[in-house]
Structures are given as structure tokens and as C-alpha cells.
Structure 1
Amino acid sequence: MTKNKNIKTVKNENNSGHGVKKKTIGDIVIYIILGLITLISFLPFWHILACTFASASDVRESAFLLFPKHFTLSTIKYVFASKSITQALLNSVFITVVGTLSSLIMTALMAYPLSKPHLRFRNQIMFLIVLTMVFHPGMIPNFLNVKDMGLYNSIWSLIIPGLIGPYNLILIKNYYQSLPESLLESARIDGADDWRILIKMIVPLSKPIYATVGLFYAVGYWNSYLNAILFIDDSNKWPIQVLLRNIVLMAQTDLGSEAGSVFEMAIDLQSLRSATIFISILPILCVYPFVQKHFVKGIMLGSVKG
């Protein structure tokens, strides 16, 4: 009995010794480099945050503000009091929410039959899908297509043309193929059809890939800029990115000095630009932590099986 205890003690000591890894000089150098890269990447965001809550005098006096001397909420209050900015935010929220849900539903429905090896013309359909990733039709054909569909100067022109992304479709299709076929066969034996299998079994098992692809779609819709410039003339239908671009250009040119009557001169254009940038990236920052746990799992499982 004593001999067995001594053997266990020696094993535990060996295991604990193997578990401790000494930090080498190379590891320390890598940590320092990664820390510097993280700091450099974070500094521009911190500068935007500081300018958002700093007074106009602090922003004018400092070329790269990091710590405001006078904390104020006047710029944030002005942003939410501005009808044009709030309308642009509402437009972006509508485009992102409706577009992401619609794209997820349509992509999931299209990926299900394509994940079945016995589907007729499956390879030909996948070839056409991949072809759209390699050869883009271009700006003018897209514009003519949207105009012929009657979507010009409509918010739906930012949703319907990009409803199904080829890359996201392939991710979901591959994820469906990674699910155990025996599980689906047992449901068919019990009399379940394809719709019941998709809704009752595949959808609950596909939350990781849905969260991953949903984040891709949401970021794309929220950052929609070029299509909004091409397809929308009415400024009341602009998303926040287009309005932000106009504010940034105004702050960087001589037009900023002539905009006193518009921005009331109590609000510095640099502060207004920073506040608008901060508000435009805040929703994505708030959504990302909720899908982060599914992100790596979904992207890995959706890209393994081809």
C-alpha cells in the first residue's frame, strides 16, 4: 500500500513538473511585439473615443488627443439631436437587421439541397456559384440590374442584390455536410420529410455557423457604402456610412470653416466626426461578444469538409 502511494506521488510530481513551462527570451520578445502591435492598433480607437467626449478647445489644441482635459457630452447630445444623423442610424439598423435575417434564411435554404450528394446538377450549380466569386460583373451591370428591377433610390437596393453571399453559402453547405448522416437517416426512417429535418434537427445543430455567417452579413450590411452612393439619391435614405463620409470630408477640407451655421460652431467638426465614427462602430462592438464563442467553431467546421 505504501509502495503504491509512493508511485502515485512520483507520478504527480512528474506531471506537475511537465506542466510548468519556463518562459524563454524568445517568448518574452514575442509577447512584447504582440503587445506593441495591440497598443498601436488600439490607439486610433482611443483617440476617436477621447475626441468624442472632449471639449472643442481640447480637440483644437491637440493634434492627437488621448486624454481630454474637459469631459463633455455635448457632441453626443448633438449627434442624437440631429435629425439627419438619427435618420441615417435608423436606416442602417433597418438595413442590417432585415438584410442579415433575410440573407441567413435564404442562404440556409439554398445550402441544404446543395449539401446533398444525390442532387441533380449539383456540381454544375456549385461551379456557377464559385464563378461569381472569381468574376464580378462590375459596377455598370450592377447599376443597370438594380434599375431594371425597380429598386433604384430604394433601401431594398442595398439588401436584395447581395441577399446570398457565395462564400457564406459554401460555409453553411460544408457545415451541413459535417453533420452525422446517421442522425438524419434515423429521422427519415421515422417519417420526417426534408422540411421537418431542416427545421427540427439541422437548424438547432447549426447555431455556430449561423452566428458566424450572421456576423459576416451584419458587418457587410452595416458598412454598406458604395452601393448606397450608386443606388440612392435621396439623402433621407442614406445609411450612416454615407453621412459619415460627408462629415469626414467636411472636417478635412476648407468647407469645415464655412459650416458654422450648420453645426452651430459650439460643436467642433473634428469632435462631430469622432462621435459619428464612434456611434457607427459601437453596434458591431456590442454584438461581437455574443457571437464570439461560436465564431471560431463555426468558421473551422464550415471550412473543413468540401
Structure 2
Amino acid sequence: MSESNGDKISRIIISFILLLIAISCLAPVLNILSISLSGKQAVESGRVLLWPVDITLQSYETLFKGTRILSALGNGLLLTIGGVLLSMAFTICAAYPLSKKYFFGRRVFTLLILFTMVFSGGLIPTYLVVKSLGLIDTYWAIWMPGVISTFNMLIMRSYFEGISSEVEDAARIDGCNEWKLMSKIILPLSMPVIATLLLFYGVGYWNSFMSVLIYINSTHKYTITVLIQQMIQSQSLLTEALANDVTATQLIPEGIKSAGIIVLILPMVLIYPFLQRYFVQGVMLGSVKG
């Protein structure tokens, strides 16, 4: 069926609006990247917009030589990998039984979990509980209070519900118990939603900021998000970084700040293309039911 003129005009307008939105999201990132790769005089004169001028990697060299960026990166990776593994394990163990109609108390447990999306104990009670458990200044203080995201659990539960019951019946005939059914049959069929939630949890833990500031007291345990924030707000950190690198005479603080921001967002940018083919499918299929 041929497309009408009205549909063509609507499609063009929508495409133009989406293009403007994409440019508005991409332009700041390109500007920061350009500043991090540009020379001192080009940045100070305002000649750097969306393309680097007098390209140099000095900002990145100074960032890695003069700051704690490597240890902060390691802390961020530890927090993210550990948190994602814990969250995925608990989310799967919660979503799988709740997806079975024969599970006793399924509706009650679901309502209790949904209750937590509306009401919570608040920051101070949560801090007091974490402190009483002796978790302050450990990453467990960040992992445990939010180990399961209710929204993510509901997405996974809905996806599990959409898997054909005939597949489960065939597996049970072959002698699979619940654990084997979940690990050998259900999870391999659920790669789209697993990849989607891996990305959700990964971005959440990698960008953890307030929770690190609240629960972590030792500066050597700070993650890269906190370090970059401190670099942006504290001129002394940038002055120290410049002083530690004798070759940094052609740098300005804005270049190091921009380099730090690029290093912060780079891991997620590199990971996303590998999960993107599962991402849309996982979200759409996981939202069919629920």
C-alpha cells in the first residue's frame, strides 16, 4: 500500500524532530571530547566547538599521571561488577518463582514487592540500618540496600511468563527439576532480557555517586564518579595534577576535567554496542505482560 502525502509529511517532521534531539544529546559530548583533545591556546580562545584544534593527548597523560584515576577506575569496576553479579542473581531468583502461576502466595509476594516502589524507609533510616550492620565504608553498603530493582524484577518476571509452557513441560518430562529448568532452559532463552538488565544495573552501579559519598569514608575507595566530581569542584586537585606533571605547561584545568569526563563515560559507550541488539528486544518483550 502506497504512503499518502500526509504520512510522508508526518514521517519527515518526526524524523527532523528526532534528528534535532539526537544532535542536542550528542553535541555536548563532542564538545567535551574536543576540549580534552585540544591545545591550551585553542581552548582559551574559544575556537573549540565540535572538533578538536591543535590535537594533543597531554590532558589524558596528565590525568593518568597526576591523579588517582587508575585506582578510582579499579574501584568503579569492582563496585559495578560485584553489584551486577549480586543484583542479577537476586533478581533472577525473585522473578523466576513469581512468574509461575502454581507458586503459593505469588500474588501476595508480588504486591509486597510492588509496595516498595511507592514507599521506602527514607535516607536516614536506611543509613542507620546499614550502620548497625557494620557495612559503613564497604561496598556492601551500596550493594545490599538496592540489590534488587523492583522495576527490573518485574521486567524479568514478565519475560519469563512469556516463555511457552510447552518448553517447560518437555523439560520436566526429560527429568529436569526447577533449578535445572531455570539454569538450562529458561535462562538461555532469556538472553535479551538478561542483557537488558545487565545494562540497566551496570549503568546504575557505574554512575553511583550519592551512595558512595554517604557510605564510603575512605578516599582510596572512592569511585571514578566521585573523583571526577571532586576534580570539577576542587581547583586544588587540578593544581596538584598539573604540578605532578612537569610537561603539563600547555594545559588548562578545563582540558583535564573534560578528559576525566570522557574516561568516565567511555566504558558504558564501549559496552553498549555489544548489548544493543538484545536491548530493544528485551525491553519490548519483557513489557508485553505484567
Aligned-residue offset at 1:67: 2.8
Is 1:53 aligned to residue 37 of structure 2? Answer: yes
Aligned-residue offset at 1:21: 7.5
In structure 1, C-alpha distance between the alignment counterparts of 2:109 and 2:3, rounded to whole Å: 53
Is 1:219 aligned to residue 203 of structure 2? Answer: yes
- Percent identity over the alignment is 36
Q: 2:242 maps to what in 1? A: 263
Whether the 8 Å CA contact 2:33–2:259 is kept in 1: the answer is yes
User: Which of 222, 228, 233 pairs up with 2:212?
Assistant: 228
Is 1:210 aligned to residue 216 of structure 2? Answer: no
- More displaced stretch, 208-217 vs 267-276: 267-276
Is 1:113 aligned to residue 97 of structure 2? Answer: yes
Residues 192-221 of structure 1: per-residue CA shift (max 9 Å, x gap) = 110111111011101011000110000000
User: Which of 107, 113, 128 pairs up with 1:129?
Assistant: 113
Q: 1:11 maps to what in 2? A: none
Specify the SS of the correspondent of 1:243: helix
In structure 2, C-alpha distance between the alignment counterparts of 1:49 and 1:63, rounded to whole Å: 14
In structure 2, C-alpha distance between the alignment counterparts of 1:201 and 1:70, rounded to whole Å: 55
Aligned-residue offset at 1:171: 0.9
Is 1:163 aligned to residue 147 of structure 2? Answer: yes
Is 1:153 aligned to residue 132 of structure 2? Answer: no
Hey, which bits of structure 1, 4+ residues long, moved more than 6 A? 19-23
Aligned AA for 1:281? Answer: I
Whether the 8 Å CA contact 1:59–1:65 is kept in 2: the answer is no
Structure 1 239/259 Cα, relative in aligned 2: closer, same or farther at 3 Å?
closer
| Aligned length, in residue pairs | 284
Q: 1:5 maps to what in 2? A: none
In structure 2, C-alpha distance between the alignment counterparts of 1:285 and 1:77, rounded to whole Å: 21
Specify the SS of the correspondent of 1:304: coil
Aligned-residue offset at 1:19: 6.2
Identify unmatched segments of 5+ residues in structure 2: none
Q: Which has the larger radius of gyration?
A: 1
User: Which of 167, 186, 194 pairs up with 2:170?
Assistant: 186
RMSD: 2.0
Whether the 8 Å CA contact 1:241–1:280 is kept in 2: the answer is yes
Aligned AA for 1:189? Answer: I
Is 1:237 aligned to residue 221 of structure 2? Answer: yes
Aligned AA for 2:42? Answer: D
Aligned-residue offset at 1:302: 1.1
In structure 2, C-alpha distance between the alignment counterparts of 1:31 and 1:163, rounded to whole Å: 39
Identify unmatched segments of 5+ residues in structure 1: 1-17
In structure 1, C-alpha distance between the alignment counterparts of 2:14 and 2:178, rounded to whole Å: 51
Whether the 8 Å CA contact 2:62–2:241 is kept in 1: the answer is no
TM-score, normalised to structure 2, is: 0.91
Aligned AA for 1:47? Answer: N
- Give matches, 1:61-140, under 5 Å: 61-62=45-46, 65-140=49-124
Whether the 8 Å CA contact 2:238–2:256 is kept in 1: the answer is no
Whether the 8 Å CA contact 2:35–2:48 is kept in 1: the answer is no
Aligned-residue offset at 1:46: 0.5
Aligned AA for 1:101? Answer: L
In structure 2, C-alpha distance between the alignment counterparts of 1:297 and 1:69, rounded to whole Å: 40
In structure 1, C-alpha distance between the alignment counterparts of 2:8 and 2:287, rounded to whole Å: 35
